[in-house]
Chains A and B, each alone.
Chain A
Amino acid sequence: MITQDYLLLCLGMGLVTYVPRWAPLVALSQRSLPRWLEEWLDLIPAAILSALILPALLTAGEPRQLSPWNSDLLVAGPVFLFALRTRSLGGTVVLGMALYWLAGQVIG
């Protein structure tokens, strides 16, 4: 059963998630941007990816603590090198899974 409260919750969550996804697309795609902003946005993907990846590899727990000795990080090294070498997305994903699985078998 879906209660009215639950429906309201989902609609609220959906709205506050959707607006930040939507507003910049509509606001920025309809005009030409100043050069500095374009250059800034050009650097954003590298920044976001790195900001997503490194804490996930280096920290754990709640509250978060530095915990660099884990199989996530151990696997990331060779996977990163493989990606640098081959630039193959599919290959990198499959190698990552295989090594992670292997690390789970060995380290337990």
Chain B
Amino acid sequence: MSDRAAPTGKISIVKDGIRAAWPICLGYIPIGLAFGVLAQKAGLSALAVGLMSSLVFAGSAQFIAVAMLGTGAGIAAIVATTFTVNLRHLLMSSALSVFLRGLRKRWLTLFAYGVTDESFALNLVRFREGGWDWQRALTVNHVTNAVWVMSTVAGALGGALIPAHAFGIDYALMGMFLCLLVYQLRGRIYVLTAAIAGVSAVAISLSVPGNSYIVAASVIAATAGLLIRRRWPRVAREKGAS
């Protein structure tokens, strides 16, 4: 890990945050528009869409909620489903906490609001590379949140007018995730862990409905990786693994 000091100053913090966040924003726009269109078809107003996006800020859970509203599901059922769908953030916040040691509670409270699959993956990589701090990470969280809220509202207002699937934009987030995964493969043990996670995720996703496979596979793989690292330190010890 390099210990480049990040330049201070509000402008450079915000600039760095925005510069880092653009792939996420690019990916959120088509998904947000699609969500807005869908929600509007299900009878939600633009205001209602904006309210949900700002209070929840979780793409897949919001899609599921709108689908469930359409089938006449009750509040309790939708909230319970949201909880299970979003439980994976528990793992992400745990991993991020290592880099936010000693930070004031009120900042953590503000930070937690913006922990998504995307901001987690991006910020974690940046923290590890160095030259990154909680303020820049917080900027990423909130810039991406703003883009999410605005695109969902725009979708509800007139998303049907915007051509879907333009310029391969649907692939933006997958491209980002693939590159962030590459950054994580810093040694043999990480490759092994990722392989175990991928295979178990596919296997579990085929047999269990819902998205519990993300948490289950990650826990299985990290535990297996830890055991391997302990049991056979020589297998694990290759560049990067300390």
- Give me the interface of A with B, judged by CB distance under 8 Å: 1-2, 5-14, 16-18, 20-30, 32-33, 36, 38-59, 63-66, 72, 75-76, 79-80, 83-84, 87-90, 92-102, 104
Contact = CB atoms under 8 A, between A and B. Distances in A.
Interface stretch (B7-15, B78-86, B144-152): B78-86
Interface in B201-221: 201-202, 205-206, 209, 213-214, 217-219, 221
B6 interface: no
B194 A29 contact: no
B214 A51 contact: yes
Interface residues of B, number: 96
B86 A75 contact: no
Contacts of A97: 167-169, 171-172, 175
A83 B179 CA distance: 5
Given A45-B184, A47-B219, A92-B175, 10 more contacts: A2-B48, A9-B65, A24-B93, A24-B94, A32-B101, A47-B222, A47-B225, A53-B198, A87-B179, A89-B180
B98 to A, nearest CB: 6
A19 to B, nearest CB: 9
Nearest to B117: A52
A12 to B, nearest CB: 4
Contacts of A42: 95, 98
B177 A49 contact: yes
Main SS of the interface on chain A? Answer: helix
A63 B94 CA distance: 31
B56 A13 contact: yes
Nearest to B189: A43
Interface string B170-205: 111011111111111100011101111111111001
B91 A36 contact: no
Contacts of B176: 89, 92-93
26 contacts: A2-B51, A9-B65, A13-B82, A16-B86, A17-B82, A18-B112, A20-B86, A20-B87, A29-B101, A36-B226, A43-B221, A45-B121, A45-B124, A45-B125, A48-B91, A49-B121, A54-B198, A59-B205, A63-B209, A87-B179, A89-B23, A90-B22, A93-B179, A96-B172, A96-B178, A98-B168
B87 A46 contact: no
Contact of B221 (A14, A47, A56): A47
Main SS of the interface on chain B? Answer: helix
Contacts of A25: 93, 96-97, 100, 108, 111-112, 115
A9 to B, nearest CB: 5
Contacts of B177: 49, 52-53
Nearest to A20: B90
Given A20-B86, A92-B176, A104-B165, A51 B26 contact: no
B56 A17 contact: yes
A65 B115 CA distance: 30
A29 B87 CA distance: 19
